[in-house]
Amino acid sequence: MTLSRKPPFAVPSATESIRILPLGGLGEIGLNMMVVEYRDKILIIDCGLMFPESNMMGIDYAIPDVIALADRGSDIVGLILTHGHEDHIGAVPFLLERLGNPPVFGTPLTLGLLQGKLEEHDLEKQPDLRLIDPAVRLPLPPFEVEFFRAAHSIVDGVGLAIRTPAGLVVHTGDFKLDPSPLDGQGTDLERLRQLGDEGTLLLFSDSTNVESPGHTPSEREVGKMFAEIFPRCRGWIMVAAFASNIHRIQQAIDAARANNRRILITGRSMQMVCRVGRELGYLHFPDHALIGLDDLGSLPRDRVFIITTGSQGEFRSVLTRVALGEHRQLRLEKGDVVILSSKFIPGNEKSIHHTINNLFRRGAEVYYQTIHPVHVSGHAGRDDLLEVISLVRPRFFVPVHGEYRHLVQHARLAGKAGLAPENTLVIENGQPLTVSWEGCRLEESVHSGRTLVDGKGVGDLGFDQLRDRRQLAHHGMVVVQIVLEAGGTRILNGPQFHTRGFIPQEEKEYYDLAGEVIRDLLAEGNADFIDDRDLLREEIRRRLQRFFNRTLQKRPMVLPLVLEK
């Protein structure tokens, strides 16, 4: 189908404006979610999660806090997903009902991956998932959305051209300018040039790799490295990669088959993505090439190829268990090769290095990013980002998808493309921005942030509880129990101390002194303690924390149990 190039809003009114509200992805990596609003109608772009940072002890995920959209479900005309990565679709199962169950639009692979996640959640209403055709414009009044191909580290990615009565908004999604994409679906630079010719009011562009000079290499470079490594190997070959990187998986499988190796797919997410990818025609290999774990013993080691996840050293992942020698069926031997074909995500370096060390201990030869070119990024480098800004030539520019330093560097880069500094805006989550052809203005910030997912609890755990977890992890816990005379302060039993992660109870000297702190408190005869036992517990906690800090320079969590008899 040939697109009509005539925009539906031929002459945007200078007095019309749109309101932009980022709810995630600005000032951080992950959690991407952008709201575009025109006259009380809302279009949402992406709804992603963030994997826990090192200080989020025990947390499974963080998702955007959408309280700013409370009671506005009827105003949301649609949720558009640019691609299938977790940081763009992962929060949908948690937030879809809170957003009023709007229709969700995406390409086949994006919705295929989302469907698998939705089936794991007990949603009250069947989600309304709608496939998009990048060749056809999508009317969502008062918006009209045109899609253009965006090459990335996952197939089926798109960027957006959103037409509004106020003007054209372009959102790149995550992208790279791959000069020779494996599927022939490169980022559509010609269409970006045409959108620039049409006149773009506002450009959002991915900032993730703004600190990387030059151009991002083609994904084919990794395939060339696989083709060099595989023929030299005489044992198992195990490749750990992100499950969503279907092109990476395909190149590894092609190299394995070219070297007469059978394929073992292991790891829950890897198995799911490979199944969906094959069903949708994005991943190609015959059934007879596959083996299961039970087949390993019947094949020579030089006939086996294993593709799995765990390249970030994730706790209990297949690769981590193999590295520790704890996997019952996958046991590495001298001569085996392990390839970590992914980026070291900041914050994961320690666990990745620990995994690599353990793989070497198992006797394997390990290839990884810092010493071998076994990974290329899916994000555009500085020269690529500059080219896109120069093609689109927006009136206003907002860098997105990055930590604050990335946004600042991207804004400065826009100046090299001729954008005036006052037309480039570095904003963060919760900062509304109103834009028209006449100008733009920042509004008062609204509530935004992160909702924590802990097991089945969504938002049940707050940052006060995280602080308690950190205190327990760093300083341990002391439980002190006393039994008082009913209605009085005379001690009938105790104080008894019980500790976890703190100095052992055998260190009697400290606990004798701590007991004296409690006895001195009760000897003060404070009448408030008799009437309010909660006040007494709080005062015991405060004085013991001060005692342990003064004598041991430690700050354990203190839990007083005050009983009466």
Token digits of residue 88? 């763009």
113-127, 202-216, 476-490: segment of lowest average pLDDT = 476-490
Q: Is 80 exceeded by the pLDDT of residue 527?
A: no
Separation CA 205–CA 424 (nearest Å) = 12
Integer CA distances (angstroms), 482 to 142, 500, 501, 563, in order: 67, 18, 21, 6
Helices (H), 362-456: 382-392, 404-416
31-35, 356-360, 384-388, 487-491: least confidently modelled range: 487-491
Asked whether residue 58 carries a pLDDT value surpassing 60, the answer given is no
Helix, strand, or coil here: 426? coil
Whether the predicted pLDDT of 360 surpasses 60: yes
Q: What's the rounded Cα separation, in Å, for the pair 241 and 266?
A: 12
Put the strands of the sheet holding 167-171 in their side by side order. 138-140, 143-149, 158-164, 167-171, 200-206, 396-400
Computed from CA positions of residues 168, 174, 180, 181, in that sequence, does the dihedral angle turn out positive or negative?
Answer: negative
- Which of the pair, 557 or 289, is modelled with greater confidence? 289
Q: Which amino acid, residue 166?
A: A
Most confident of 44-53, 430-439, 455-464: 430-439
Instruction: Classify domain 220-367 at the CATH topology level.
Output: Rossmann fold (3.40.50)
Render 131-185 in DSSP notation, one character per residue. Answer: E--TTS-EEETTEEEEEEE---SSSS-EEEEEEETTEEEEE--S----SS-TTS-
pLDDT band at 487 (very low <50, low <70, confident <90, very high): confident
The order of strands in the sheet holding 450-454 is 61-64, 450-454, 457-458
137, 145 Cβ separation under 8 angstroms: yes
**Confidence at 498, pLDDT banded by 50, 70, 90:** confident
For the cut 60, the answer to whether the pLDDT of residue 7 exceeds it is no
Say which residue the tokens 């991207």 belong to: 410
In eight-state DSSP terms, residue 53 is P
Note the pLDDT of residue 385: 98
Higher pLDDT, 79 or 552: 79
* Angle at alpha carbon of residue 236, lines to 231 and 237, rounded to 5°: 60
Is there a contact between 442 and 468 (Cβ–Cβ < 8 Å)? no
**Per-residue pLDDT, 3:** 36
Structure tokens at 386: 């500059």
Look at residue 18 and tell me whether its pLDDT is greater than 80: yes
What topology is assigned to 476-564 in CATH? Ubiquitin-like (UB roll) (3.10.20)
**260: its two tokens:** 């007469």
Report pLDDT for 162. 98
pLDDT surpasses 60 at 4: no
Name the 3-class secondary structure at 88: helix
Q: Distance between CA 220 and CA 94 in Å, rounded?
A: 36
Report residue 372 as tokens: 């071998």
DSSP string, 235-291: S-EEEE--TT-HHHHHHHHHHHHHTT-EEEE-SHHHHHHHHHHHHTTSS---GGGEE
Q: Which residue has the higher pLDDT, 188 or 462?
A: 188
Would you say residue 211 has pLDDT above 60? yes
Quick one: what percent of the chain has pLDDT higher than 90?
68
Q: Please give the pLDDT value at position 462.
A: 60
Q: Model confidence at 508, in pLDDT bands (50, 70, 90)?
A: confident
Mean pLDDT of the chain: 90
The pairs formed by 271-278 with CB atoms below 8 angstroms and a separation of 24 or more are 272/116, 272/243, 273/113, 273/243, 273/244, 273/246, 273/249, 274/243, 274/249, 274/307, 276/109, 276/112, 276/113, 276/116, 277/109, 277/246, 277/249
Q: What percent of the chain has pLDDT over 70?
A: 91
Other CB atoms within 10 A of residue 26 CB:
28
CATH 3.40.50.150 at 18-214+378-458, yes or no: no
pLDDT at position 459, please?
Answer: 52
What are the distances in angstroms from CA 167 to CA 144, 387, 517, 530? 11, 22, 70, 69
Q: Is the peptide bond before 495 cis (omega within 30 degrees of 0)?
A: yes
In the prediction, which pLDDT does 453 show?
76
Provide mean pLDDT across the span 458-486: 72
Q: What are 294-334's pLDDT values in tens digits? A: 999 999 999 999 999 998 888 788 999 999 999 999 999 99
- Residue 5 has a pLDDT of 39
Per-domain residue ranges of the chain: 18-214+378-458, 220-367, 476-564
